[in-house]
Amino acid sequence: MLRKTYSRALWKVACVSSILPAFLLFSFAPGIGRAQPTDATEFQRASTTHRLSDFPKIAKDGRVWFQFKAPSAQKVQLRIGATNKTYDMEKLADGTWELVIPYPGPGLQYYWLIVDGLNMMDPGSETFYSNGIKTAVEVPSPGEDFYDLKDVPHGHVLQHLFYSKVTESWRRMYIYLPPGYDANPRMHYPVLYLQHGAGEDETEWTHAGRAQFILDNLIAQKKAVPMIVVMNNGFASKPGVVVAPGPATMASRFGVFGDLLTTEAIPEVDANFRTIADREHRAMAGLSMGGMQTFQIGTTHQDLFSYLGVFSGTPMAQAQAQVDALAAQGKAFHDKMHLLWFGVGTTESNFYTRTQEVRAQLDKAGIPSGYYESSGTAHEFQTWRRCLHEFAPLLFQNAASTAKKN
């Protein structure tokens, strides 16, 4: 009897289902029957959306659609971007929280969820390293594709391990070898030492920054010469030294890293890769902390570097002595250095203002500098992607500085 009753119930459901309109049937499917953007079909998965997730999605106008399943949560918010703008998410009947935000700005936008007061990563997105592990969404930038993966010859990014006597520890470098490196074993190349910021490590220039694609595309367009790019971890300390926050510790770290870079990392690269091992074919650049390290190390090791790029890393007032020391060199520094270059986002406030102050002081001392402003961006990777894209074509362009056959 029970079996018969159950069968009749199934038959009734089947009959009713057969006559329901399609949109009512779909309303019972997970993720459908809910408040959605009226143009939901226009949204596409972001390039940074996890392969097992459907969200976040992005519309052509830059709006981003988020979903997060948390049936027991009472309040969920989303905080995104360099300005940490915060939005409240809406809870739907099935326990899914949903939000569509307006265009948050171009490029990689870090974000996190605040679930009943607890900060959480979004399981729907890729993770990146920025002062800890964070999720991020890649938002397209209209008219900008210089950092996209394209159908051009590609270089290779590899990890190189070496032991440092300075820190008494194993260290890791990420190294970009340009297209054609393996196919042309007699060719030797100039080198750019490219540093991350205080929030990142040696992995993020090729992860969040897409440096390898920027170089691939520039080299394919013949806007930049083929070069090796070396990315070191900028944090270094002497054995047994307790690392504590503060300006004094930061200055000490810079000094230790400077020793490691100049006495160990550069010789290690020259010994294991086909470099042109002289200052004429060696550049240094970096973002934020890496820019400050570039200024400190590069201006005091002119025997090693002839091109310097400072991306959102102009020395702050605490390091004014560095700026004064460089200004005192005046024309002598300008005559020796092929390029001193600054880049900054127009909405970076203190970094923007400080960059103008330092450049004005150096210019007055007879040290003009190259300069680039990233319009509308803050202390974020879109600024630094643009900086690298503008800086790299300026390197090693004189006839004596191109790749050489041995």
Considering the domain boundaries, does residue 9 fall inside one? no
Are residues 204 and 111 both part of a single domain?
no
Domain of 65, CATH number, reads: 2.60.40.10
DSSP state at residue 49:
B
| Nearest-angstrom CA–CA distance, 30 and 51 | 18
The reply to whether 236 falls in a domain is: yes
232 and 337 both lie in a single domain: yes
Q: What is the pLDDT of residue 24?
A: 31
Domain-embedded: residue 12: no
Any domain includes 145: no
In this structure, the answer to whether residues 199 and 230 fall within a common structural domain is yes
- Write out the residue range of the structural domain in which residue 265 sits: 156-405
Please tell me whether residues 294 and 395 are part of one structural domain: yes
Strand 307-311, strand 282-287: pairing: parallel
- Decide if 181 is inside a domain: yes
pLDDT for the residue 15? 39
In whole angstroms, what is the distance from residue 72 CA to residue 279 CA? 61
Token pair belonging to 272: 């294991």
List all residues 6 or more positions away from 97 whose beta carbon is below 8 Å from its beta carbon. Answer: 67, 68, 69, 70, 73, 76, 89, 90, 91
Per-residue exposure over 345-356, b if at least 16 CB sit within 10 Å of its own CB, e if not: bebbeebbebbe
pLDDT for 349: 87
One domain, residues 89 and 205: no
User: For residue 183, what are the CA distances in angstroms to 177, 179, 180, 186?
Assistant: 11, 9, 5, 9
- Residue 2 confidence (pLDDT): 37
Distance between CA atoms of residues 56 and 121, nearest Å: 13
Q: Are residues 135 and 266 in the same domain?
A: no
Helix H or strand E segment including 6? helix 2-19
The answer as to whether 379 is a domain residue is yes
Residues of the chain where predicted confidence (pLDDT) is lower than 70: 1-35, 242-253, 399-406
Q: Are residues 129 and 176 in the same domain?
A: no
Q: Is 109 a domain residue?
A: yes
194 shares its domain with 318:
yes
Q: How many domains does the chain have?
A: 2
**pLDDT value, residue 26:** 30
Last residue of a domain, one of 110, 139, 168: 139
Within this chain, do residues 323 and 368 fall inside the same structural domain, yes or no?
yes
Provide the CATH number for the domain around residue 278.
3.40.50.1820
pTM of the model: 0.88
**Among residues 113, 139, 165, which one ends one of the domains?**
139
CA distance 367 to 328: 10
Same domain, 127 and 262: no
Give the integer Cα–Cα distance in Å for 282 and 228. 10
In a domain, 2, yes or no: no
Domain final residue, candidates 139, 171, 197: 139
Mind listing the pLDDT tens digit for each residue in 136-152?
Answer: 999 999 999 999 999 99
* DSSP-derived secondary structure letter, 319: G
Q: Are residues 401 and 370 in the same domain?
A: yes
DSSP state letters, 206-275: HHTS-HHHHHHHHHHTTSS---EEEEE------TTPPP--SHHHHHHHHHHHHHHIIIIIHHHHHHHS-B
Same domain, 90 and 214: no
